[in-house]
């Protein structure tokens, strides 16, 4: 994997660059649709390519490991061949999913012991075997195993958690370097910066991660209960120490405004389930704010969902029709809304990139964030 930094915005830490992988180029900043089980919910692969124009999608190690399992994915020749996606894939290590199973897991130096949410069976993730699992999946970018502490953790717990994550990281990094890809394309390994909401822990974690010299780095453990302004502060603290010549990935964040604020602070890559999850509940994100498509006010609005959209779906279907589909509980409603929201997120980061390159990102971003917060 290669990263080329093209330009840093004037009056901002926002950056425009290009990540090159064996499955294609990724212009940054970039938003990555989440395909937890090897599929983005409700969206075909050809729609991700042709309507959304996604450059990279995510898969999740925890879910893919449990179902369909590594035997099937390995026999298929990796996730790219299994799901038909021919562009880059990033896989999470499963650390966040294990964190969310707090009642059914135990963390030790060995790794994360947990019970499957599917059948209750016992499993163990170690820093080494999550590398092996991601070798079988064949993702272009794999993540290190980490613990994601709650945003409300006290200092003692946060420090203990970070020390465990650091020990796991060293083992995972060494195992990654001692193993090879399975399918003829290269794979990159991203460490994850933890440290909860404590400046000194975040700085310590970022320095430790930077010293490894990995091809890219991630910021985890945010948007897990802490105030938004604290999240932004932690991003700034971390990015003071992460190398500028490597991509920076903010995990699991967030709203369109969060996306722009993160870009403003030097983040290059982001993902979140919000576009598709909110779409299934009838919420659309637009350049002028959010729309609840279940509201009666859209029943006679025959204008396109988003007239200036780069996505054909938005220009073909009317707001009234989409509102009717939601009222009738038609599955097509969720599909259209999901495609729209993903296309909007991708268009948003593309606009951010253009304004970084044009030199007016700071002014554009301030006006965009104000509009994005409206309810239409």
Q: Return the active site residues.
A: 92, 271
Strand 30-32 relative to strand 57-60: parallel, antiparallel, unpaired? unpaired
| DSSP-based three-state secondary structure for 214 | coil
Other Cβ atoms closer than 10 A to 265: 22
Angstrom distance (rounded) from CA 211 to CA 19: 21
Angstrom distance (rounded) from CA 66 to CA 68: 6
- Could you tell me if 234 and 205 are in contact, meaning their C-beta atoms sit under 8 angstroms apart? no
**Residue among 62, 36, 236, 90 at smallest CA distance from 148:** 62
- Could you tell me if 141 and 269 are in contact, meaning their C-beta atoms sit under 8 angstroms apart? no
**Residue among 320, 329, 334 at smallest CA distance from 282:** 334
Helix (H) or strand (E) holding 165: helix 155-178
* The two structure tokens encoding residue 337: 């809304």
- Could you tell me if 268 and 356 are in contact, meaning their C-beta atoms sit under 8 angstroms apart? no
Angstrom distance (rounded) from CA 31 to CA 34: 10
- Could you tell me if 298 and 290 are in contact, meaning their C-beta atoms sit under 8 angstroms apart? no
What is the full DSSP assignment across 215-263? S-EEE-S-SSSS-HHHHHHHHHHHHTTS-TTS-EEETT--SHHHHHHHH
Angstrom distance (rounded) from CA 194 to CA 206: 8
- SS3 for 260-302, per residue? HHHHHCCCCEEECCHHHHHHHCCEEEECCEEEECCCHHHCCCC
Other Cβ atoms closer than 10 A to 315: 14
The β-bridge partners of 241 are none
* The two structure tokens encoding residue 193: 């910066």
């Amino acid at each position: 994997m290669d990263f080329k930094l093209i330009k840093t915005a004037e009056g901002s830490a926002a950056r425009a660059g290009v990540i090159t992988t064996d499955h294609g180029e990724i212009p940054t900043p970039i938003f990555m649709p989440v395909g937890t089980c090897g599929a983005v919910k409700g969206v075909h692969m050809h729609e991700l390519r042709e309507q959304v124009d996604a450059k990279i999608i995510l898969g999740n190690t925890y879910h893919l490991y449990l179902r369909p399992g590594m035997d099937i994915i390995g026999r298929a020749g990796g996730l790219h061949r299994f799901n038909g996606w021919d562009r880059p894939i990033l896989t999470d290590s499963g650390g966040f999913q294990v964190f969310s199973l707090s009642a059914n897991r135990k963390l030790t130096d060995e790794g994360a012991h947990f019970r499957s949410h599917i059948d209750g069976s016992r499993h163990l993730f170690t820093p080494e075997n999550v590398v092996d699992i991601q070798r079988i999946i064949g993702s272009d970018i794999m993540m290190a195993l980490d613990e994601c502490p709650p945003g409300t953790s006290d200092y003692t717990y946060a420090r203990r958690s970070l020390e465990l994550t650091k020990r796991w990281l060293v083992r995972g990094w060494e195992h990654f370097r001692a193993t090879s890809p399975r399918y003829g394309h290269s794979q990159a390994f991203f460490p994850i910066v933890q440290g909860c909401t404590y400046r000194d822990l975040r700085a310590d974690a970022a320095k430790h991660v930077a010293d490894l010299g990995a091809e890219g780095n991630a910021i985890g453990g945010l948007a897990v209960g802490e105030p938004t302004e604290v999240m932004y502060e932690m991003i700034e603290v971390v990015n003071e120490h992460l190398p500028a010549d490597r991509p920076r990935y903010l995990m699991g964040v967030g709203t369109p405004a969060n996306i722009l604020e993160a870009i403003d602070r030097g983040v290059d890559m982001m993902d979140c389930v919000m576009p598709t999850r909110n779409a299934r509940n009838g919420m659309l994100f637009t350049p002028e704010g959010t729309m609840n498509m279940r509201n009666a006010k859209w029943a006679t609005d025959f204008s396109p969902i988003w007239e200036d959209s780069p996505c054909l779906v938005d220009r073909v279907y009317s707001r009234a029709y989409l509102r009717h589909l939601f009222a009738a509980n038609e599955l097509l409603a969720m599909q259209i809304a999901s495609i729209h929201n993903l296309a909007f997120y991708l268009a948003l980061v593309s606009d951010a990139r253009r304004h970084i390159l044009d030199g007016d990102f700071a002014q554009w971003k301030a006006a965009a964030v104000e509009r994005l917060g409206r309810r239409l």
